[in-house]
Structure 1
Amino acid sequence: MKKLMTMTRQFRDDENGAAMVEYSILVGIIAGAAILAILAIGGWVSGRFTGLCTNLARVAGTTCNAAAGTGT
């Protein structure tokens, strides 16, 4: 019975599993924030490139395909 009580106390005091869960949640939050930042920056760059392409096409009188990144 004493051995069972000792094992129960050790199991109760063991915090390795809790720390692993906390680190996993933290890694998930960081990964999510990184993905959102990359998507936001990508959208901003795409918008800037499309605006540049539109302005160049208007001023120079050429055609521009912003999606393909080509122009004549």
Structure 2
Amino acid sequence: MIEIINYLKARYLSEKAQGMVEYALIVALVVGIAVVAFNSGLKNSVTSAFGHASTAIESVSKGN
């Protein structure tokens, strides 16, 4: 009986560690994609879009 409990315990712990490694790899992949996207010019596009939105909000608020 103790052998079965030890087997199940070892199996659960190893699967849990495997899941954590998989999540870490997914997070690393997402961060890598984000870095590449922001370095490839997406940063300028996002900054420009927020700048245009800010200008539009300011012009509307000054008009009232």
Q: Kindly report which structure 2 residues correspond to 1:1-72, keeping only aligned pairs within 5 A, or say none.
A: 20-62=1-43
The count of aligned residue pairs is: 45
Greater relative contact order structure (CA < 8 Å, 6+ sep): 1
Q: Deviations over 1:9-49 (max 9, x none)?
A: xxxxxxxxxxx111000000000110010000110110010
Decide which structure has greater strand share. Answer: 1
Larger Rg: 1
Decide which structure has greater helix share. Answer: 2
Amino-acid identity (%) = 7
**What CA RMSD, in Å, does the superposition of the two structures yield over aligned residues?**
1.8
Gaps of 5+ in 2: 45-49, 51-64
Cα distance in 2 between the residues matched to 1:40 and 1:27:
20
Moved over 6 A (4+): none
The normalised TM-score by structure 1 is 0.57
The normalised TM-score by structure 2 is 0.64
Gaps of 5+ in 1: 1-19, 64-71
